A and B are shown apart, each in its own frame.
Chain A
């Protein structure tokens, strides 16, 4: 048993380290985004000579139109973050709702909802994303919507699994015996018990959404009016930056995407660990947080 304790201690320690690293990374990007909003000029500031290598005046050089690449990078930060946060939040809300319903309902309704979740998981993601963006048209709101429509099902599945575990727990039985309505039990007593999973999935979902946005923009399906890290890479690929090996053009936005997604993943993994510990120890049945 002492072995068990040691292992958990170690994991707990690393979870803290991961969440600290994630927070630090995300704070950096939040500062970058604020800077981007403050200095926004709607298109990359003044133009100078095109395709310059990094210099003191332009720390990352300039692109083929003569825009400063560092400035573009900073201006893209709020857009990329906003799409990630927006799509992640919408997906989490949608997934939690469907998951709660599918987990708590029984009979035909449960079957139908579960079938919807399963079908949504089966549909190949990227082609659907391509179809939906061409269907709705480019634009930030639509991009957020498309990514959220793709990303909700994994949250829904996790929430459903947890609710199925919870719905026969003693405290739910007790609440039923007290005569509480179903909606009240689900919203006030079951929902708080899945909030750990939801917050972990939310943060992981934000990372996924940022990566999806980058992929869409890289294919040229992003918002044509706003710069995002994916769009800078799209232009670097399309307009010869990549073919000429100009690392200062295509690499920094890619690293920003990676580091930012990494920050959210760190946070999500730490939270996921925290959310799972009570489930493993099966302590929730004795001390329901919601009751």
Chain B
């Protein structure tokens, strides 16, 4: 029964967000055909404009476009980009791949750091270690990611010349050996991944610290100590298992947000990922690309939430329904 309610709510959420995805691009002022043609549009005849409009399905009423949007979604067709003249699915896939190269290592590292340091800081709340870790986390929260990115890039790439200035892979592609290429990719990834890790660790760390420090006075901690469990096992095994749910939720939320929020880091490091794709599609009113990209983001965020719900049930029987 509860499952049915939850499923209905999820379905409703999905319908609402996907409808919003259709509506938002069309609410923006500006004609996509004029945006596509630029200043050249003056020299073209009205007839050409009409033909283009017809080709893109923009000549129909909004209601018809809405029905068509859902029919296409049902058939898992994302349409063709106005600007790139390419299938939106392959376009989004390509950009998502680049973003995930940055994102997955950053999410993994920041969650790991938050789990370790947050547990330590929460367990020894008020200690010098806690003070140092918490101060760093707060600083990481208050510093805009693009500032961190610019400072690191200026220092390590510009002044010291140790790391490349931007992009994802060495120029010239797969000219060298496979190992060399991989090393080059790692060198390109180092700075952006570091920036994203720093930016997303802060909140997770503070949450982990809070939930560990709230849990450390529970009776089971005293019991575990009394049983003679090794001192390090108490915080990292017994408390961690009970206190990691908020971290898990935040990680899922972040994974979704960072897919979109990486745009600033992408801009500074000249990486052509999802963020740049969405930014440019919004500025050029490329409806199909916007719809496709937002669809993927919505599905990723919702899927992660469902997944986390399931996993938290496995980890903590108290939230199982």
Residues of A within 8 A of B (CB): 4, 7, 10-11, 14, 111, 115, 118-119, 121-128, 130-131, 134-135, 137, 207, 211, 214-215, 218-219, 233, 237, 242, 245, 247, 250-251, 254-255, 257-259, 261-262, 265-266, 269
Contact = CB atoms under 8 A, between A and B. Distances in A.
Nearest to A208: B141
Nearest to B147: A254
B263 A257 contact: no
Chain B interface residue number, banded: 35 or more
B288 to A, nearest CB: 15
A258 B142 contact: yes
Given A7-B125, A134-B282, A233 B139 contact: no
B121 to A, nearest CB: 13
Contacts of A118: 13
Given A124-B257, A134-B282, A262 B142 contact: yes
Contact of A269 (B125, B138, B278): B138
28 contacts: A111-B9, A119-B13, A122-B305, A123-B20, A124-B261, A124-B294, A126-B275, A127-B260, A127-B294, A127-B297, A130-B278, A130-B279, A131-B282, A134-B28, A135-B29, A215-B146, A218-B264, A237-B150, A242-B154, A254-B143, A254-B147, A254-B150, A258-B139, A258-B142, A261-B141, A262-B138, A262-B139, A266-B138
Interface string B295-321: 001100110010000000000000000
Contacts of A127: 260, 278, 282, 293-294, 297
Decide if the interface of chain A is mainly helix, strand, loop or mixed. Answer: helix
Decide if the interface of chain B is mainly helix, strand, loop or mixed. Answer: helix
B17 A123 contact: yes
A102 B148 CA distance: 38
Contacts of A123: 17, 20, 298
B235 interface: no
Nearest to A250: B150
B142 A261 contact: yes
Interface in B257-292: 257, 259-261, 263-264, 267-268, 275, 278-279, 282-283, 290
| A-B pairs with lowest CB-CB distance, top 6 | A254-B147, A124-B260, A261-B142, A10-B126, A262-B142, A127-B278
B189 to A, nearest CB: 21
Interface of B: 9, 12-13, 16-17, 20, 24-25, 27-29, 125-126, 131, 138-139, 141-144, 146-147, 150-151, 154, 158-159, 217, 253, 256-257, 259-261, 263-264, 267-268, 275, 278-279, 282-283, 290, 293-294, 297-298, 301-302, 305
A122 B150 contact: no
A131 B24 contact: yes
Nearest to A255: B147
Contacts of A111: 9
Contacts of B279: 130, 219
B141 to A, nearest CB: 6
B298 A122 contact: yes
A78 to B, nearest CB: 19
Contacts of B20: 123
Contact of B144 (A4, A14, A135, A211): A211
A115 B7 CA distance: 13
A261 B83 CA distance: 39
B267 A122 contact: no
A214 B147 CA distance: 10
Given A122-B302, A122-B305, A250-B150, A115 B13 contact: yes
A269 B154 CA distance: 32
A232 to B, nearest CB: 12
Given A122-B298, A123-B17, A127-B297, A214 B9 contact: no
A219 B263 CA distance: 9
A214 B146 CA distance: 9
Contact of A245 (B12, B159, B263): B159
Count chain B CB atoms within 10 A of each CB in A115, A127, A211, A254 and give the residue with the most. A127
Contact of B138 (A137, A242, A265): A265
B297 A124 contact: yes
A61 B147 CA distance: 19
Contacts of B294: 124, 127
A10 B13 CA distance: 45
Given A126-B263, A131-B25, A135-B24, A258 B144 contact: yes
A135 B27 contact: yes
